[in-house]
Structure 1
């Protein structure tokens, strides 16, 4: 099957995060299964020519044009990308658009509808009801049409399914499919060597929504009991790094904080193996790939109840799930610290780490995800074929 994934942006430091990582993971697994899967996106931040391959996946990248800088990633586009997308859709069996309110994936999805190309849409928690007037206008001009016209709409959680239906209202979506994120299975990491200082890891885009300041604010309480502990702050800065580092300075914990910047995919897994606890105190995290990658090597996670993985982690005992609320910084930091301290206890750490590894291997491997997606693709193609046959029969 020839599959064209269309996602907004790829950068050297993976600053766009989840959607691009999901597209890469899916494409790699699909290609390993014999499909011709490739990715089309904007490229930005590269020195020299844009790559033609990423992690073994053929990519068609086009230089990002910052048409509307005020809207940041939603305001970048490329006329050449959209022209090429129309041409490549003619040879594709199916187009998988990782949809957001932007000038790349939205027009690409509209082109798929206009050309009659089978269309699967995945929203990654990025399309939900909003009070923002520009976003409401975008919904009116195109998003609703795409959601209603797509052959399948993929959602990560039940909450996302409800949100997407609310955007598509009053027309109910009948072709929704739950598709979780998946990662490659990994060996269970070895136990921490005796005498090695404990390591606590934050690995995600360093942006306000991910709450890196809650991670730093939890450090004094943890250091009071584990004065040799190391805290690793990893990931590309998307706005919150200066404030996070300034908070560390004010709290006097800079010497215990290692800011390592963005990491490549294998470096991400290595950081997970080195960590004793992974922390992501994010507000409204749909279903974080970085959480799954940490748990895939046997590192327990501290996440919030608004994370889509919260129920799974809590049910499996794969870490700690905490409440976190905007505007309650001191309370949030205290909850993060207590969760970290619980998971640094050797017995609790071993138990939660094993549960985390088993949870990923049972429910969140890329193989499990691609099997579900393959069934969805085949159902889409079958329905399209049957529709064409019915139309031809009526015509005769």
Structure 2
């Protein structure tokens, strides 16, 4: 996979890959997880051989990362593997890795995490023409999360490429925990990259509305800066929001621990496909507020797993108030989420699908 860093900047795909690896190793498979690395982060997965290789930027953004060490290792050891599962984005780590493994005659499975969707920017078009379409067309299978991602991958592949695509959900281990926490005042958590698409400023506006109306709660923001930190801190300072705090970034694998300390988790982002932090919140027993624009939101709403919101600050504030005021509502969301983790979103069910595909 692309990148493991101390600030958890590539959090969702890391959590998914680690979950797959741990469950497959638990079932008796020999599993290696290979990733680009910032030279600082630590990652340990029970039963899994973790290989971290320094990644460096050769161009701006995550897409500009490459890891000569990872690609050299794979070139030398690709024949050791019966299946190579690449958590792939438009970058110079995973795309070359996928093509290298294919050139060695290995069985290759790609998982795109919503990162390979139609994009008219020049850099995306260049990646697709040079690398992406070749990888999609030659892989044994491409794993997608939703029907929308299925359509997107098909569109990126183009008319001359017919990838084999399978829909497999994300999954986490069921923990069977309770929604009730001895937290006073209650903690309302935003945990995501501080990127404009994640909309931390909408969370801040909702926190302001609730603080000014006398709601007693701590509004905590956790995540690495990807463009919105300065604006967030300026907004907090301008409105003197002492109840709103920024706790910095956390390492990969630490999300469930942070979520387990919260009373409510809020993800106000648009353009999400299948956010892993929502599943991790389910595993932590923490009720979730999610925008109804998220691709997986309709299914989660139908199952009663989330409190849906339009994503506008006033509606986010309404949803937060509803959950803080009702322990019964919080408990109902957690119970429904546990039911979903037992079947649809259980890591065991996901691993069953992976084993079938690899075989």
TM-score range (shorter-chain normalised) is over 0.9
From 211, 215, 236, the equivalent of 1:248 is 236
Q: Which residue in the other structure is 1:104 paired with?
A: 93
Q: 1:174 to 1:265 in 2, by over 3 A?
A: closer
Greater CA drift, 297-306 or 257-266: 257-266
Distance 2:156 2:340 in 1: 32
Q: Which residue in the other structure is 2:356 paired with?
A: 375
Map 1:142-161 onto structure 2 (within 5 A): 142-161=131-150
Q: Which residue in the other structure is 2:24 paired with?
A: 30
From 192, 197, 201, the equivalent of 2:185 is 197
**Between Structure 1 and Structure 2, whose CA radius of gyration is higher?**
1
| 1:231 maps onto 2:212 in alignment | no
CA offset at residue 239 of structure 1?
2.7
Distance 2:286 2:56 in 1: 40
Distance 1:266 1:9 in 2: 13
From 52, 56, 63, the equivalent of 1:65 is 56
Aligned length: 357
| Structure 1 vs Structure 2 CA RMSD | 2.0
Greater CA drift, 305-314 or 133-142: 305-314
Structure 1 runs (4+) greater than 6 angstroms displaced: none
Deviations 1:138-171 (A, max 9, x none): 1111211111111001001110000000011204
Deviations 1:104-141 (A, max 9, x none): 11111111221111010000000011111221121111
Distance 2:310 2:37 in 1: 37
Map 1:1-396 onto structure 2 (within 5 A): 7-46=1-40, 54-56=44-46, 57-68=48-59, 70=60, 72-171=61-160, 173=162, 175-189=164-178, 191-193=180-182, 196-253=184-241, 255-264=242-251, 267-324=254-311, 332-346=312-326, 347-378=328-359
Mapped contact 1:64–1:77 kept (Cα < 8 A)? yes
Distance 1:44 1:358 in 2: 37
Q: 1:256 to 1:372 in 2, by over 3 A?
A: same
- Matched residue SS, 2:246: strand
After TM superposition, the score normalised by the length of structure 1 is: 0.85
Q: What stretches of structure 1 of length at least 5 have no aligned partner?
A: 1-6, 325-331, 379-396
Greater CA drift, 184-193 or 106-115: 184-193
Distance 1:15 1:54 in 2: 17
Mapped contact 1:189–1:273 kept (Cα < 8 A)? no
CA offset at residue 267 of structure 1?
4.6
Distance 2:251 2:70 in 1: 26
Mapped contact 2:179–2:286 kept (Cα < 8 A)? no
- Matched residue SS, 1:9: coil
CA offset at residue 300 of structure 1?
1.7
Q: What stretches of structure 2 of length at least 5 have no aligned partner?
A: none
CA offset at residue 224 of structure 1?
4.3
CA offset at residue 353 of structure 1?
2.5
CA offset at residue 312 of structure 1?
2.3
CA offset at residue 13 of structure 1?
2.5
Deviations 1:224-264 (A, max 9, x none): 455321111112223322211211222321x1123222335
